[in-house]
Amino acid sequence: MLTCDGTLYRERVVSLDGGKQDILLYHCVGETRCLRRKDIIDTLYAALPPTTVKFSCELESIELDPLTTKPILRFIDGNTISTKVLTICPYQINVVVIGSDGGKSIVAKFLNLKPTKMFPIFAVRGLTNYPHGHPFGREFTRFKKDGMLVGRLPIDNNMIYWFSAQPYIPKDERIWKNPEVIRRYTMELLSNYPQEIQEMAKNADMNSLSFTHLRYRDPWDLLTGTFFKGTVVVVGDAMHVMGPFLGQGGSAALEDAVVLARNMAQLGLNHAESGSEVIVHRVGKAFDQLVRQRRIRVVRLSLQAYLIGTLLVSSSRLKRILWIMLLFLLFPNQNGHMDYDCGDL
Ligand SMILES: Cc1cc2nc3c(=O)[nH]c(=O)nc-3n(C[C@H](O)[C@H](O)[C@H](O)COP(=O)(O)OP(=O)(O)OC[C@H]3O[C@@H](n4cnc5c(N)ncnc54)[C@H](O)[C@@H]3O)c2cc1C
């Protein structure tokens, strides 16, 4: 059980440009929750039988065994897995590779998916704890200033998640890995922001700080891509990494998991013995169904996120007008993506 459901009720957009504050207020549409990734992973992990998950196994490559045509997984530590149990974090199922290894997926490479691309936007993310409680209520607040965006979302009464997104390329490459450098860099970027924002960054939990160059898969590649081969498939960001402008990438990964698990169970694969050709055929069928059921959903999410991201980084007025028109034409209800049910497990 999660300790807090992280539900947010209100959104506030504060524009700080020109030394004044313009404020827009909305009620959250649909269900908006801010959850710690660790809470989701712990909850999923607790639901699995003991010893199901093996940690710290970094995949280096996948190739097909020339004799059996089964996948062989090679790990960074020199280990290989060539039959029966093939594991990629976080799922483990006999004879099957479910690649949920994120935006730089090795499994996607094996499936010959086109390389992902980058938005010219960098994001810093962090968690800040307020031991005596924070004063921000259940509100998602976005601050805009000088082409930068800072977001703040409470997780519970003490903990908040925040991000800053900026179109600058930092010169210091250590920033990718070193939390102290990330904090210093962020403090500099936020030096013109209100005191409460600067303190939020200053008091961030060092272990939570991350620095990311935003990555996406072209929506038209999602329309045509082949996301499985035999008993190897990709889900989550490995399949459809997208800019975080709708805040739907993680939710879409969870939807993939629900749909895949349901399809596999319906085909009797939840208690299947490994190895038999019948099972391999059924696994292929479950993957085929997954891709069919998910394709339009992830194309739409990715396209909407792509258009918003492209709009954010366009400097030409004409192009901005074009992107806005396209967005309204294709997505007249900007929050329509929330009105979606992937069905029960
Ligand atoms: C700035 C930012 C803000 C975001 N905001 C939101 C939001 O508000 N809401 C939302 O729903 N989503 C959001 N997202 C997107 C969300 O984080 C991702 O969509 C989600 O994490 C995808 O989950 P995943 O499990 O597919 O991939 P990941 O979370 O990337 O997990 C991949 C896992 O695979 C492991 N791995 C990677 N390579 C290997 C390998 N070679 N061998 C073994 N293991 C490997 C990694 O260590 C990791 O544990 C945001 C993303 C960014 C960058």
Q: Which CATH number does the domain housing residue 90 bear?
A: 3.50.50.60
Alpha-carbon separation of residue 175 from 98, 181, 182, 198, 201 (angstroms): 31, 5, 5, 18, 15
pLDDT of 236: 97
Q: Nearest C-alpha to atom 7 of ligand 1 is from which residue?
A: 247
Give the C-alpha separation, 302 to 67, whole Å. 39
208, 279: one domain: no
Give me the tens of pLDDT residue by residue for the chain, a chain 345 residues long.
Answer: 334 567 888 888 998 887 667 777 777 677 788 999 999 999 999 999 988 888 889 999 998 888 777 888 999 999 888 755 444 544 444 468 999 999 999 999 999 999 999 999 999 999 999 999 999 999 999 999 888 999 999 999 999 999 999 887 777 766 778 899 899 989 999 999 999 999 999 999 999 999 999 999 999 999 999 999 988 999 999 999 999 999 999 999 999 999 999 999 999 887 655 556 778 888 999 999 999 999 999 999 999 999 999 998 888 999 999 999 999 999 999 889 988 999 998
From the alpha carbon of 103, which atom of ligand 1 is closest? 30
- Residue whose tokens read 């313009």: 22
If asked whether residues 236 and 259 sit together in one domain, one would say yes
Expressed in angstroms and rounded, the spacing between residue 35 Cα and the centre of ligand 1 is: 14
User: Who lines ligand 1 at CB under 6 A?
Assistant: 58-59, 88-89, 100-102, 106, 123, 125, 163, 212, 214, 236-238, 244, 247-251, 253
Q: Are residues 326 and 233 in the same domain?
A: yes
Question: Where does a domain end: 162, 187, 215?
Answer: 215
Tell whether 151 and 94 lie within a shared domain. Answer: no
224 and 111 together in one domain: yes
Same domain, 290 and 322: yes
Same domain, 68 and 127: no
For residue 26, what pLDDT is reported?
72
| Residue ID of nearest Cα to ligand 1 atom 28 | 102
**How many Å lie between the centroid of ligand 1 and the Cα of residue 238?**
9
Range of the domain at 146: 117-215
Give the position, in ligand 1's atom list, of the atom nearest the Cα of 252.
Answer: 11
Q: Quote the longest CA-to-CA distance of the chain.
A: 69
Distance CA 232, CA 75 (A): 16
For residue 122, give the H/E element and its range. Answer: strand 117-129
Rounded to 10 degrees, what is the CA torsion of 180, 185, 187, 188? 150
Residues 331 and 231 in one domain: yes
Out of 97, 100, 209, give the residue to mutate to test ligand 1, the one with the largest number of ligand atoms within 8 Å of its CB: 100
> Closest residue (by CA) to atom 35 of ligand 1?
101
Same domain, 194 and 133: yes
CA-proximal residue: ligand 1, atom 47 (nearest): 101
Final residue of a structural domain among 169, 192, 215: 215
- Shared-domain flag, residues 85 and 182: no
For residue 91, the model assigns a pLDDT of: 41
In a shared domain, residues 111 and 128: no
Q: How many domains does the chain have?
A: 2
My answer on whether 312 and 227 are in the same domain is yes
Q: For residue 276, what pLDDT is reported? A: 66
Contact 183, 86 (CB under 8 A): no
The residue with tokens 């009720």 is 9
Pocket test for ligand 1, best of 89, 148, 162, 260 (most atoms within 8 A of CB): 89
- Report the CATH number at residue 177: 3.30.9.30
Q: In this structure, are residues 107 and 238 in contact, taking their beta carbons and an 8 Å threshold? A: yes
